[in-house]
């Protein structure tokens, strides 16, 4: 994989709580936003925006499953600010809204690592 895409992915993962924008990510690897976008799609098969959304929603799912953080707190940790967009996107990716996902993952008698 192109090292500039690897750097961008690492930045997205490490700084997901921040409001990340293409111009800033592109500056980090000394490319124009459009060039980084094309390169990113070529290397990963998805746009940087979609990739970041998947990273955030994946982390949100893990937090909902493994912690007792509220949905609002999870949103803050992963950098999502709009509850309706978060819920809609989460449901599309995971097949259930955040609260239903948590209930489904927990199941009867299962404790979280932080509650044990």
**Residue 2: burial class (beta carbons within 10 Å; 0-12, 13-18, 19+):** middle
Question: Cα(93)–Cα(91) distance, rounded to whole angstroms?
Answer: 6
What pTM was estimated for this model as a whole?
0.84
* Cα-Cα-Cα-Cα dihedral sign, residues 25, 69, 92, 81: negative
pLDDT surpassing 50 at residue 116 = no
* 74-93 residue pLDDT tens: 999 999 999 999 999 999 99
Segments making up each domain of the chain, as ranges: 3-106
- Residues 99 and 56 sit within 8 Å (Cβ to Cβ): no
Mean pLDDT along residues 70-75 = 96
The CA distance from 45 to 38, in Å, is 10
61-79 mean pLDDT:
96
Read off the pLDDT of residues 17-49 as tens digits, 9 standing for 90 and up: 999 999 999 999 999 999 999 999 999 999 999
Specify the CATH number for 3-106; select among 1.10.287.10, 3.40.50.300, 3.30.470.20, 1.10.10.60. Answer: 1.10.10.60
């Amino acid at each position: 994989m192109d090292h500039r895409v690897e750097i961008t992915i690492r930045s997205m993962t490490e700084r997901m709580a921040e409001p990340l924008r293409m111009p800033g990510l592109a500056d980090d690897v000394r490319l124009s936003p459009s060039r980084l976008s094309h390169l990113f799609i070529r290397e990963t098969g998805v746009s940087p925006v979609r990739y970041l959304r998947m990273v955030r929603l994946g982390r949100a799912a893990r937090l909902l499953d493994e912690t007792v953080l509220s949905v609002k707190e999870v949103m803050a940790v992963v950098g999502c600010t709009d509850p309706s967009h978060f819920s809609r996107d989460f449901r599309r990716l995971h097949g259930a809204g955040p609260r239903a996902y948590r209930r489904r993952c927990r199941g009867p008698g299962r404790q979280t690592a932080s509650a044990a």
